[in-house]
Structure 1
Amino acid sequence: MRPFDPRLLAVAPAARRPVVAVAVVGVLQGVATVATAFALAAVVVAVVDGTPVGAPAGWLVALLGARSALGWAAERSAARAGVEVTAALRRALLEHWLRVPAERRPDPDRGATLAGQGVATVEPYAARFLPALVAGAVVPVLALAALVWVDPVSALVVALTLPLLPAFAALIGAATRDETQRRWRALSSLAGHFTDVVRGLPTLVGYGRAERQVEVVAEVSGAHRRATMRTLRLAFLSSAALELLASISVAIVAVTVGLRLTHGTLDLGTGLLAILLAPEAYWPIRRVGAEFHAAADGAEAVADALDELTTPSVGATTPAATPTTADAIGVRLRGVEYSYPGASVRVLRGLDLDAGPGLTVLTGPSGAGKSTVLELVAGLRTPGAGTVRAGRAHLVTQRPFLPAGTVRDALRLGNDAPDADLWAALRRVGLDGFVAGLPAVLDTPLGDEGVGFSAGQRARVALARASLSTAPVLLVDEPTAHLDGPGAAAVHDLLVELAERRAVLVVTHRPELVALADRHVSLDHRAAQAPA
């Protein structure tokens, strides 16, 4: 976990501009801070000496106004950086996971935690910690350089004591890093367990085991709470230690300045400048330490996200499921083997499959790897051995994705078909009457994942969308699992119609569809059979 990882700017280019803006404003604020100290000292000296104060007062007012404007710009640029860095990182993660094969994606629970709550913690990291980091790198250097020019003795005191702050901050930060990592693991465990409980709640209720999960969730939540409290204790300890060191260091500078003023070896202007500049050398580092604890979760999330994004997507010796040509109508698998990540048993072994133009059905017992074959052909998974060659494919899964938009948006996902074609596609799957009866027809909004439609209706919307695709290969997984007899017959007729001009590969348990197929491949026997 680094304070700032340069890989962030490489993997999320959209984050470059706001981060650079934060850095530029931070440098300007540092210059204005040092200049204000000179102007304020000049005003005080002028008042004490009885000389005109107009010029130094004018400079002081102008610099205070500039600092106010820079403070406003810093707040705006920091807020914008927080939003844009968060959005850019989340977008980069999702695009990366969509590009890589399924076996190179993280566990769904960990991925959801990282892209959701994890990336959300990046906003305070970018909006508060990064500006503090820039100030901590620039302002102390400027203040020390000014002190060397004005009062070398005070500069020597600051130079000797200033390294103590980052040293103690690094020591406490290492402990904070370890505690934050433990807290992050506890949060991931809690999120994953809670997700599993929600998914399996109907089964748990059916077997009378739901109450037991209350204790388990409470136990995992307690572990997360204890990890959080340990992190907070370290944060308070760090702030107290840095404040104490900075206060002692500034007091040493003040004492040396006071003694020299008393003995007449130092003039008032120089002493004032030394006392005004010394705190500015320590304050940015104290702020970095405080903001680091507030943004520790964000720094950990950035590190995890960048590790995900910089992991090679495909190994050098791993065969990839790439199409021969985008318009090739057919699928060809030779000697394909596949094992799920972490599993020792191969779900597919030496599979050969040919699916040319026409309707090919794939059958077999549950767990035989039927859905895996479709994902291999679609390029979502990479075979462990063998070759997969196919044209551009459109995949319809058992749980098809419907965006949280309108019915029209769901049908136009991946195409720009006019409304007339949308209605024709709905008519083919027997859903036109239902959609016509909706309050806003095609403009009727859908909830997340098609909330508002039944499982069978969502499947038919996905098939209607597939019929509008121009992909020469259509992959369909159990299209009639949630349909009654008439609905299933309409879908069968649509698949036969589409197979006249495409290669259609369908996973099914329906004997009616097997009877309509041009080819039948049974994973149980690994042999192609002619339809009965």
Structure 2
Amino acid sequence: MKRLMREAAVRPLIATTALLGLLMAAATVAQWWGFAQAVNLAFLEGQPLITLGPTLALMILAFALRALLGWAREVVGQRAAAAVKRDFRSRLAARLVQLGPAYTGGERSGELATALTEGVEKLDAFYARFVPQAALTAAIPPLIALAVFRIDWPSGLLLALTGPLIPVFMWLVGTLAEGASRAQWLALSRLGAHFVDRLQNLPLLTAYGRVPSQREEFARVGEAYRASTLKVLRVAFLSGFILELAATLSTALVAVTVGVRVLGGHLDFLPALFVLLLTPEFFAPLRQLGADHHAGMEGSAAAVRLYDVLNAPAAQSGSEAAPDPAGGVFVERLTLRYGEAAALEDLTLSFPPGSRTALVGPSGAGKSSLLAALLLFVRPQQGVLRVGSTPLDTVSPEAWRERVALVPQRPVLFAGTLAENLRISRPGADDRALWAALEAAGAAAFAKEGGGLDMRLEEGGRNLSGGQRQRVAIARAFLKDAPLLLLDEPTSQLDEAAAADLREALETLAQGRTVIEVAHRADAARAADRVVFLERGRLMAVGTHPELLARSEAYRRAWEAA
């Protein structure tokens, strides 16, 4: 909660709401003083109604002012909450881009999506209700107590003594509620993660006949969320009961003492009625704060996860301009670990400008990890990546990635038009450039048949074949026209005939560029200027494909196993 209170929008929100609270307190005092005066003049002093005009006007004006100030308080709170949520979403999106796939790949997508959507929405109650109500509570009760003290100091003293009991009770119950709110949020996050995970893998579950068993699992996870929610509600009801009881008893105490003194002739009717009217107004903000406190606790519990994302260490933090890969790419004694497991170990390599290098090795050899390091997705524990004489850890990751094109093993295609998917690599490209990229990638024919650039692609490109998806990915690389090209087994998901057909487009794409390809087929290794053979993150051999077949038994075994 402390971190939420340090957000930039909080201070203006508190200041504005506190000012509104002071005005509301003054209007409340004026309203009930006018009402008490009118009752006293009309019923005790017997004055005609026509003489009560100024008093009734004061009461009505004060009532209208209270309503207007209450509306202003709601508007200020809602606008502040909207601004904070917008700011959180912007910061979270920027941070996830900085963290890159190395971070998101280690997170459960459903849990992360729940945090970034529902978690941010939970902040609404904190900033729209709890923070403004806390400011009102700090402003209104003291001013009302002061007004009562001036009229009847014993009643003012009772308010000063009993009023602080409610925040104390709220703090005691809130300690219990905090743990329950966090447990509820964790249960909701698990439910979201479980749902997305099973939905994404529904074809596999269906193929293995595991859908019925997942119903039981969904019931178990859903029951955990239901139980945690009911626990939060029980704590909220208990808190509400305690706060209402404390406020009611305190109000009754003031009423009894006032009544006794009126009957004993020690207090006149007018101040007595005024005190009785103001006493509920004194406790009203405190009671409302107790109710809003639980809504704020939900936002505080969700914020823990949001700040975890915002404070996660980024892979790179350089800011210099990106160097030209024409200076060559150099890997010097690079060590990269995921936890305790070493993906790359003391690796030294160079990639001359215009060269074509195939990375070969068994699964887990570190091939894809090297590409991730070159894309600045991960931060090596030791060693240096250089382009020319410039270390990449001093370069802006966004600027460097503008000079790199990637054709992944499994292309990511979004639901939308073909043009929207292509422009991911170059947002400002015109239609002529898009068609040129499609022609170069051999994708123009099926694009024309499907409706041209307005062709609708389903999520993941489900309405395309594997080869067509790869050609769209290659068209993106053509469109980007970057000097450094990274190919991560682009034909591994295709059969021999489709792979051979796609290889022609890749050969065209590779011309005039520095190419680093993770290869699993012999044709890719043969087409390379040299082959780098990796095993368990270490460099085992470098040479052409025929050379390594002749002198490296491990390399020969790797191709035989493939």
- Work out whether the TM-score is over 0.5: yes
Q: Paired residue for 1:345?
A: 341
Consecutive unaligned residues of structure 1, counting only runs of 5 or more, are: none
> AA paired with 2:510?
A
2:42 pairs, out of 9, 25, 47, with 47
Judge conservation of contact 1:428–1:490 (CA < 8 Å) in 2.
Answer: no
Q: 1:395 to 1:154 in 2, by over 3 A?
A: farther
Q: Which range moves more in the overlay, 495-504 or 245-254?
A: 495-504
Q: Does 1:354 find its partner at 2:350? A: yes
Pair member with larger Rg:
2
| C-alpha separation in 2, matches of 1:150 and 1:209 | 75
Distance 1:47 1:471 in 2: 88
Q: Does 1:114 align with 2:128?
A: no
Q: Which amino acid aligns with 2:264?
A: H
Query: Paired residue for 2:392?
Result: none
1:18–1:80 CA contact under 8 A, matched in 2: no
Distance verdict in 2 for CA 1:58–1:403, change over 3 Å? farther
Contact 1:321 1:379 in 2 (8 A): no
Which of 334, 341, 346 is matched with 1:336 structurally?
334
User: Are residues 326 and 265 of structure 1, via their aligned partners in 2, closer, same or farther at CA, if it must alter by over 3 Å?
Assistant: farther
Cα distance change on mapping 1:28 and 1:367 into 2, 3 Å: farther
* Counterpart residue number, 1:364: 361
Number of equivalences? 520
Given the superposition, is the C-alpha separation of residues 435 and 53 from structure 1 closer, same or farther in structure 2, using an over 3 Å criterion?
farther
- The Cα of 1:486 is off from its aligned counterpart by 6.6
Q: Distance in 2 between matches of 1:499 and 1:269?
A: 93
1:411 aligns with 2:406: no
CA separation of 1:172/1:454 partners in 2, compared to 1, >3 Å: closer, same or farther? farther
For the residue of structure 1 that corresponds to 2:379, the secondary structure is coil
Range moving further from structure 2, 391-400 or 166-175: 391-400
CA contact (8 A) 1:30 1:135 kept: no
Match 1:468 to one of 479, 494, 510: 479
Farther-moved stretch of structure 1 (84-93 vs 451-460):
451-460
Structure 1 position 269, deviation (Å): 3.4
Alignment of 1:501-516 (within 5 A): 501-516=512-527
Corresponding residue for residue 66 of structure 2: 67
Partner in structure 2 of residue 136 of structure 1: 137
User: How far, CA to CA, are the matches of 2:185 and 2:362 in structure 1?
Assistant: 40
Paired with 1:460 and 1:361, the residues of 2 have a C-alpha distance of 20
CA deviations on 1:236-275 (whole Å, 9 max, x unpaired) are 1110110000001111112222223333333333223322
Q: Which amino acid aligns with 1:389?
A: R
Alignment of 1:184-195 (within 5 A): 184-195=185-196
Which residue of the partner structure matches residue 279 of structure 1? 280
Does the Cα contact within 8 Å between 1:357 and 1:503 map onto a contact in 2?
yes
Conserved 8 A contact 1:148-1:155: yes
Which residue of structure 2 aligns with residue 376 of structure 1?
Answer: 373
CA, structure 1 residues 250+76, in 2 after alignment: closer, same or farther (shift >3 Å)?
A: same
1:388 corresponds in structure 2 to: 385
Alignment-derived partner of residue 530 in structure 1: 544
1:311 deviates by: 4.5
Partner of 1:443: 454
Shift of 1:113: 2.8
Is residue 434 of structure 1 aligned with residue 453 of structure 2?
no
Structure 1 residue 199, shift from structure 2 partner: 4.0
Structure 1 residue matching 2:341: 3-state secondary structure: coil
* Rounded Cα–Cα distance in structure 1 between residues aligned with 2:37 and 2:472: 76
- Which secondary structure does the structure 2 equivalent of 1:504 belong to? strand
1:325 pairs with 2:309: no
C-alpha distance 255-528 of structure 1, shift in aligned 2 (>3 A): same
Q: Alignment partner of 1:53: what SS?
A: helix
Give 2:351's aligned amino acid: A
Query: What is the root-mean-square deviation of aligned Cα atoms in Å?
Result: 3.1
Residues 522/30 of structure 1: CA separation in 2 closer, same or farther (3 Å cut): farther
Which of 228-237 and 428-437 deviates more?
428-437
In structure 2, distance between residues paired with 1:119 and 1:34: 38
Cα distance in 2, alignment partners of residues 161 and 306 from structure 1: 38
Contact 2:13-2:132 at 8 Å conserved across structures: no
Q: Which residue of 1 aligns with 2:552?
A: none
CA displacement, residues 312-331 of structure 1 (integer Å, 9 cap, x when unaligned)? 546xxxx8788883433443
Rounded to whole Å, the distance in 2 between the matches of 1:267 and 1:20 is 38
1:233 correspondence with 2:225:
no
**Between the two proteins, what is the percent identity of the paired residues?**
37
1:171 paired with 2:172, answer: yes
Residue in structure 2 matched with residue 499 of structure 1 by the alignment: 510
3-state DSSP of counterpart to 2:331: strand
How much has 1:68 moved relative to structure 2?
Answer: 2.6
Answering whether residue 148 of structure 2 is matched by residue 147 of structure 1, we say yes
Q: Which has the higher mean CA deviation after the structures are superposed, 219-228 or 171-180?
A: 219-228
Q: Name the CA distance, whole Å, in 1 between partners of 2:415 and 2:144.
A: 54
Change (3 A) 1:137 1:493: farther
- Structure 2 gap ranges (5+): 388-399, 547-562
2:49 is aligned with 1:37: no
Determine if contact 2:170/2:290 at 8 Å carries over to the other structure: yes
Moved more, 265-274 or 423-432: 265-274
State which drifts further: 457-466 or 232-241. 457-466
Secondary structure of 1:354's match? strand
Change (3 A) 1:434 1:29: farther
Larger CA deviation: 244-253 vs 90-99: 90-99
Which residue identity is paired with 1:160? L
Letter of the 1:85 partner, please give it. Answer: V
The equivalent of 1:422 in structure 2 is: 434
Paired position in structure 1 for 2:263: 262
Preserved contact between residue 467 and residue 502 of structure 2 (Cα < 8 Å): no
User: In structure 1, what is the Cα distance between the partners aligned to 2:468 and 2:73?
Assistant: 51
Assess if the C-alpha contact under 8 Å between 2:358 and 2:531 holds in 1.
Answer: yes
1:90 equivalenced with 2:89 (yes/no): yes
Mapped to 2, the partners of 1:425 and 1:489 lie a distance apart of: 20
Contact 2:17–2:136 (CA<8 Å) still a contact in 1?
no
Q: 1:470 to 1:138 in 2, by over 3 A?
A: farther
Distance of 2:412 and 2:36 partners within structure 1: 67
Going from structure 1 to structure 2, the CA distance change for 1:404 and 1:244 (only over 3 Å counts) comes to same
Shift of 1:102: 5.0
Letter of the aligned partner of 1:388 in structure 2?
L
**d(CA) in 1 for partners of 2:331, 2:14:** 48
Q: Distance in 2 between matches of 1:404 and 1:24?
A: 49
Aligned: 1:398 with 2:403:
no
Whole-Å separation in 2 of the counterparts to 1:169 and 1:282: 13
Shift of residue 201, structure 1, vs aligned partner: 4.1
State the partner residue of 2:396.
none
Question: Which SS does the other structure have where 1:430 is aligned?
Answer: coil
Cα distance in 2, alignment partners of residues 183 and 368 from structure 1 = 42
Matched residue type, 2:445: G
- Contact 1:321–1:388 (CA<8 Å) still a contact in 2? no
The one-letter code of the counterpart of 2:353 is P
Kindly state the Cα deviation for residue 161 of structure 1 after the two structures are TM-superposed.
0.6
